[in-house]
């Protein structure tokens, strides 16, 4: 958005917050592509009408050059004329031209050259032509049988098929760790003893992987959003990757993309799909085509997994103990995160979120175990696997190692845990390893 329009919004923000009815604007803003459905959903989650209006005005300033005049159109169409006139005063006139179709130069189609007659002696003796057609023409027309005998280019090798992300920038990128330990009494959430151990391990590990690590502690919901928004507004053009690590209580929420939510210390949650949205290619252009990695140490729900019996060779000694706690909070939606009620919505609204990987400490719907003395199972194993294998293995392979090792543990001699990830990376990812 142009600076002139941003200043007009800022100058009139008080009036907009007081008088704007955002609920009747949403459909028009989506139709005019000022906002996406996910962005509107996030604005709605702000709470009261005033809070939604404030968030809408704030987010509007981050949109493109057409956002301001299209917003004025929406105000006129919803009969909020006084606000439209207020914003038009002092605003330069903007003519919105409809997008014109791009002229495509199409090549002239030339007929394919006719295949030469194949030497019959070179054909295999047992090859019998199918449905031979007699022709008086000296040059036979190409047939499917002859076409199939043309030499074909060699198939692509595995090395050619799977490329790797560029990961040689120094530093490699930003890593934001949000560590929520002490929760407010009104939140009715317990403090997370042992989480500082996780924080220290991951801070050291990602510094060793050549990331700029920033740690934020005990953030409320709005502060989590603020930190993610600030990260998305950074210029990542000189970096190759971005990492977000969430250490907190978690819960289930209904979703259309990534399941789960993470709690602020005030007891209000932020859905994981909103966390990822801050860094996607649309909201953070300088990270387009670059890997965005999210590591979530939080429960996916309140269900405890008792596991199932396997043969003795599959079992190794577990590391769980009597001090194990969970990061579970009862689900905050009546719909199960894997239920059929979410399936139609997911199919209708799911784009392809490229270059994003979300690694969860536990399967959606289940608790995640944390030792109050040694930290969480997931972080302990993740840290060790990265230390031992980052020099030789790609991220997807290492996360499979994490899944396997954590699955061997038992809490209180009974309960199990299964990490997993939603992987939308398009290439292999190999971290830098500093000498």
249, 255, 269, 283: which one is catalytic? Answer: 249
Phi, psi for residue 265 in degrees, rounded to 5 = -70, -10
Please confirm, yes or no, whether 269 is among the known catalytic residues.
Answer: no
- Residue 3's pLDDT is 81
User: How are beta strands 292-297 and 324-326 bridged, if at all?
Assistant: unpaired
Distance CA 344, CA 423 (A): 21
> What are the E-state strand segments in 141-272?
173-179, 211-217, 241-247, 250-251, 261-263, 269-271
Cα–Cα–Cα angle for 24, 335, 328, rounded to 5 degrees: 115
Please confirm, yes or no, whether 299 is among the known catalytic residues.
Answer: yes
**Residues facing 212 on adjacent strands:** 174
Tens digits of pLDDT across the chain (435 residues): 788 888 888 888 888 888 899 899 999 999 888 899 888 888 888 778 888 888 888 888 888 888 888 988 899 889 898 888 888 876 555 444 444 444 445 555 555 555 544 444 444 444 444 444 444 444 444 444 444 444 555 544 444 446 899 999 999 999 999 999 999 999 888 898 888 999 999 999 999 999 999 999 999 999 999 999 999 999 999 999 999 999 999 888 776 678 889 999 999 999 999 999 999 888 899 999 999 999 998 864 444 333 333 344 444 444 445 445 544 443 433 233 322 222 332 222 324 468 999 999 887 656 666 677 777 889 999 999 999 999 999 999 999 999 888 877 654 455 667 888 899 999 999 999 875
Distance CA 400, CA 420 (A): 8
Domains of the chain (ranges; CATH) run 3-88 (1.10.533.10), 173-423 (3.40.50.1460)
Q: What is the DSSP-derived secondary structure letter of residue 61? A: T
Local structure of 284: helix, strand or coil: coil
> What are the E-state strand segments in 180-282?
211-217, 241-247, 250-251, 261-263, 269-271
- Residue 385's nearest CA partner among 411, 404, 363 is 404
**Residues facing 22 on adjacent strands:** none
174, 283, 299, 430: which one is catalytic? Answer: 299
- Residue 410's pLDDT is 53
Q: What is the DSSP-derived secondary structure letter of residue 136? A: -
- Residue 84's pLDDT is 85
Q: What is the DSSP-derived secondary structure letter of residue 426? A: S
- Residue 416's pLDDT is 66
């Amino acid at each position: 958005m142009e600076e002139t329009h941003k200043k007009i919004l800022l100058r009139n923000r008080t009036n907009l917050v007081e008088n704007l009815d955002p609920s009747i604007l949403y459909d028009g803003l989506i139709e005019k592509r000022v906002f996406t459905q996910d962005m509107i959903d996030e604005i709605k989650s702000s709470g009261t009408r005033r809070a939604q209006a404030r968030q809408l005005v704030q987010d509007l300033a981050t949109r493109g050059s057409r956002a301001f005049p299209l917003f004025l159109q929406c105000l006129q169409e919803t009969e909020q004329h006084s606000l439209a006139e207020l914003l038009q005063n002092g605003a330069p006139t903007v003519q919105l031209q409809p997008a014109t179709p791009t002229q495509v130069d199409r090549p002239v189609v030339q007929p394919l050259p006719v295949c030469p007659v194949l030497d019959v002696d070179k054909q295999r003796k047992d090859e019998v032509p199918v449905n031979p057609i007699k022709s008086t023409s000296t040059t036979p027309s190409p047939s499917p049988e002859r076409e199939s005998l043309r030499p074909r280019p060699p198939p692509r090798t595995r090395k050619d098929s799977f490329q790797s992300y560029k990961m040689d920038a120094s530093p490699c990128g930003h890593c934001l760790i949000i560590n929520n330990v002490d929760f407010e009494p009104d939140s009715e959430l317990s403090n997370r003893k042992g989480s500082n151990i996780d924080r220290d391990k991951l801070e050291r590990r990602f510094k060793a992987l050549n990331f700029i690590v920033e740690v934020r502690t005990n953030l409320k919901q709005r502060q989590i959003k603020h930190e993610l928004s600030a990260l998305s507004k950074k210029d990542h053009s000189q970096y190759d990757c971005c990492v977000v690590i969430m250490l907190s209580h978690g819960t289930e929420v209904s979703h259309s993309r990534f399941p789960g939510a993470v709690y602020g210390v005030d007891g209000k949650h932020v859905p994981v799909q909103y966390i990822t949205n801050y860094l996607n290619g649309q909201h953070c252009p300088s990270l387009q085509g670059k890997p965005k990695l999210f590591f979530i140490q939080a429960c996916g729900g309140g269900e405890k997994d008792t596991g199932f019996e396997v043969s003795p060779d599959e079992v190794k000694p577990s590391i769980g103990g009597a001090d194990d706690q969970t990061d579970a909070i009862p689900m905050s939606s009546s719909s199960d995160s894997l239920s059929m009620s979410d399936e139609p919505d997911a199919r209708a609204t799911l784009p392809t979120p490229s270059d994003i990987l979300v690694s969860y400490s536990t399967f959606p719907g289940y608790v995640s175990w944390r030792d109050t003395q040694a930290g969480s199972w997931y972080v302990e194993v993740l840290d060790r696997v990265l230390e031992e294998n980052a020099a030789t293995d790609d991220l997807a392979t290492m996360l499979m190692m994490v899944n396997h090792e954590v699955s061997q543990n038992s809490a209180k001699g009974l309960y199990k845990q299964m990490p997993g990830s939603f992987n939308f990376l398009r290439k292999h990812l190999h971290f830098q390893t500093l000498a």
